[in-house]
A and B are shown apart, each in its own frame.
Chain A
Amino acid sequence: MRFTMDTDIRGYGEKPKSRREFFRFIIRWILLLLLGLFGGMAFVRRRCSLPGGPGNGKACGGCPSLAKCKSPYSWLAKPLGSRRTVWQLDPAKCIQCGRCATECVLQPSAVKCIHRFDMCGYCKLCFGYFQPGTSVLTSAAENQICPTGAIRRKYIEEPYYEYTIDLSLCIGCGKCVKTCGAFGNGSLKLQVCHDLCVNCNECSIARNCPAGAYSRVPADEAYLFKTS
């Protein structure tokens, strides 16, 4: 290539084009090859056949525990592709600050309170349901903790009451979760509901979560508590 000022660095039409065109050809195909390789890797499910790796030759599901992979070649097994991930919050870290209700890009939030019946004590005096110090256990507004009245209380048998959450009313503020966790069995948990979540690339709640409780989890285990 000549650096002539006035005439000869030609555009796309003229004679020295062939040289230019040749360079372009080379670079183009190098780039295409790289992109192709990169994309190809996304298709290939990684198998851990790395010398020194934990499960020699066995598929290790995209190596979830690469941190533990002792292979000096672990960088080869960067878990590319194959795993779909979604945002979820870890109830063990959550401090129920209430930002799930306000920070979500959706209104109302995609975070809702989920009730784990198998952990519930079915208490007559439910700490997640009643305001502290409530004496008359009725479902009147002055007694309820839930700001939207999303928790339903149903009599089962003495002294047990069943509590269910109306997800269409729940705004994910976590008030009930806080008190249930502090005084009760902790059977109420905040979780991102995946029928609502739009799975933003950068989750707005995660960004603002003071406890760093949000993380991407594999889509096939999208809830961070046992469902049964």
Chain B
Amino acid sequence: MIKTTLLYLLLFLAVDVMAENRFPKPQFEKGYELPQTAVQSPREAILEYADVAVLFGTLSLATWLVLKKRSRKGVFLLSFFSVIYFGFWRKGCICSIGAIQNVTLWLFDSQYVLSFTATAFFILPLIFALLFGRVFCAAVCPLGGIQDLMILFPVRLPRLVVTLLKIVPYIYLGLGILFAAVGAAFVICRFDPFVPLFRLSGDLPIVLFGIVLLLVGVFVARPYCRFMCPFGVLLNWSSRLSKWHATISPDECVECRLCEESCPFDAIITPNKGQVSEERSSGVQRLARLLLLMPVLVLLAGWSVSRLDAVFSRISPDVQLATAFQQNDKIRLKMMAYEVEAFEGSGIKKEELFLRAKAIQERFRIGGWFVGGFIGAVLGIGLIGVSVRRTRMTYEPDRGDCLSCARCFISCPKERQRLKVMPPVEGKT
């Protein structure tokens, strides 16, 4: 679609000449003046640059608030601002999460025009995460912000459930990239639960999904961010490498354990020194087994996902039409009457449609190998990850999972010391 854009522009002069002129231009006698056809221009370019500037500003401010000022209140207010600005004002589009797909499509489709805004929304949060951790999640992302507001009575999910759910974003990311790379769809945008809420209008099922997520978010803190967000995966990786990451204590940890319960996202690592550990040999053996299992898992998953090409490719209207034609499926052809009409009017040969459909399917098949392999690797690494034990000496945020929301700071006595605030007195409601 996008490719042909510019072609149309060149063509439309020609089209204009060809336009039917069944009735001659009127010859007005009484001096009637032909009105201009007025159209509204799109948003000014400068405003788009302003968006990027706001993004950069909020990211910097968030970094300062988290790392230097260590102010939860500041982070909260900033995230409130982000919800208003990027969410309700800018209607949530374009967002960093969706920008993954733009970048992917650009990588795979040489004619796709990647907008500056999309580029900036994609790289800025990653750069900040590489340097300072996930400050983007803390205070800039409108999707995170609206969920953060809803964290009222957080409960802790069982460990195993969390382990399981944390795999979902990887799968979602893989599939999102697959569909974007093939050029078939932007699924991440399509199933974005909160953008319709920002727009106050949208597809009903998605709106309901968003509302449900928000309600779940009252108890399970930020469910989308933790268990769905594909961009969160990239931020997670970047944040692990971060140079300066938020710490719970502004000083040396005194292991008072007061912060243990303060993180609603389960992102605080507790020390495990001195725990009973396993026999070394059995651990090594298991690790060896898991490492051997890994390529099997990768290949198997790659194969099985590549086999889903027919299923996946159904998302493309071209493929839908081609299969309907090919199977001569009367019912579906009837349902797609407009598509058939448009196709027949286009003068394109069916063979070419089949060719296109086949090419899409083929791309899904090849892409399926990679994405499946990726998912397999994620599962394999997950298995290894839970089998390798790291000695953790102090209370510290898990750099991957920590959203730098600054909630835990105040629970640290050292922080209170720094701020010179007394802990709340027991018994006060």
* Interface status of B199 (Cβ within 8 A of chain A): yes
Q: Indicate if the CB atoms of A27 and B241 lie closer than 8 Å.
A: yes
Q: Indicate if the CB atoms of B45 and A224 lie closer than 8 Å.
A: no
The distance from the CB of A55 to the nearest CB of chain B, in whole angstroms, is 15
CB-based nearest B residue for A161: B26
What's the Cα separation between A122 and B116 when bound, in Å? 44
What's the Cα separation between A84 and B287 when bound, in Å? 50
The distance from the CB of A82 to the nearest CB of chain B, in whole angstroms, is 6
Q: Indicate if the CB atoms of A62 and B113 lie closer than 8 Å.
A: yes
Residues in B neighbouring A7, C-beta threshold 8 A? 277, 391
CB-based nearest A residue for B340: A210
When A39-B119, A80-B114, A200-B189 are in contact, do A6 and B280 touch as well, CB less than 8 Å? yes
Q: Indicate if the CB atoms of A184 and B22 lie closer than 8 Å.
A: yes
Residues of A in contact, count (CB < 8 Å): 100
* Interface status of B368 (Cβ within 8 A of chain A): no
B-side interface size class = 35 or more
CB-based nearest B residue for A189: B37
The distance from the CB of A72 to the nearest CB of chain B, in whole angstroms, is 13
Q: Indicate if the CB atoms of A206 and B390 lie closer than 8 Å.
A: no
Q: Indicate if the CB atoms of A216 and B317 lie closer than 8 Å.
A: no
The distance from the CB of A13 to the nearest CB of chain B, in whole angstroms, is 4
The distance from the CB of B58 to the nearest CB of chain A, in whole angstroms, is 17
Residues in A neighbouring B36, C-beta threshold 8 A? 117, 227-228
Residues in A neighbouring B392, C-beta threshold 8 A? 11, 13
Residues in A neighbouring B16, C-beta threshold 8 A? 225-226
The distance from the CB of B337 to the nearest CB of chain A, in whole angstroms, is 8
Contact residues of A: prevailing secondary structure: loop
The distance from the CB of A217 to the nearest CB of chain B, in whole angstroms, is 5
Tally A-B pairs: CB < 8 A.
Answer: 274
Q: Indicate if the CB atoms of B41 and A186 lie closer than 8 Å.
A: no
When A3-B284, A185-B22 are in contact, do A78 and B42 touch as well, CB less than 8 Å? no
Which one, A13, A93, A164, A181, contacts B393 given CB within 8 A? Answer: A13
Residues in B neighbouring A129, C-beta threshold 8 A? none
* Interface status of B126 (Cβ within 8 A of chain A): yes
CB-based nearest A residue for B269: A11
When A5-B278, A105-B201, A210-B342 are in contact, do A38 and B45 touch as well, CB less than 8 Å? no
The distance from the CB of A12 to the nearest CB of chain B, in whole angstroms, is 6
Interface residues of A (CB under 8 A from B): 3-14, 24, 27-28, 31-32, 35-36, 38-39, 42-43, 62, 64-67, 74-75, 78-86, 90-93, 95, 97, 99, 105-107, 114-119, 121-123, 156-157, 160, 162, 164, 181, 183-186, 191, 193-202, 204, 206-207, 210-219, 221-228
Please provide the 9 A-B residue pairs with the shortest distance between their CB atoms, ordered closest to farther.
A5-B283, A121-B23, A211-B342, A195-B40, A6-B277, A202-B186, A210-B338, A194-B42, A42-B119
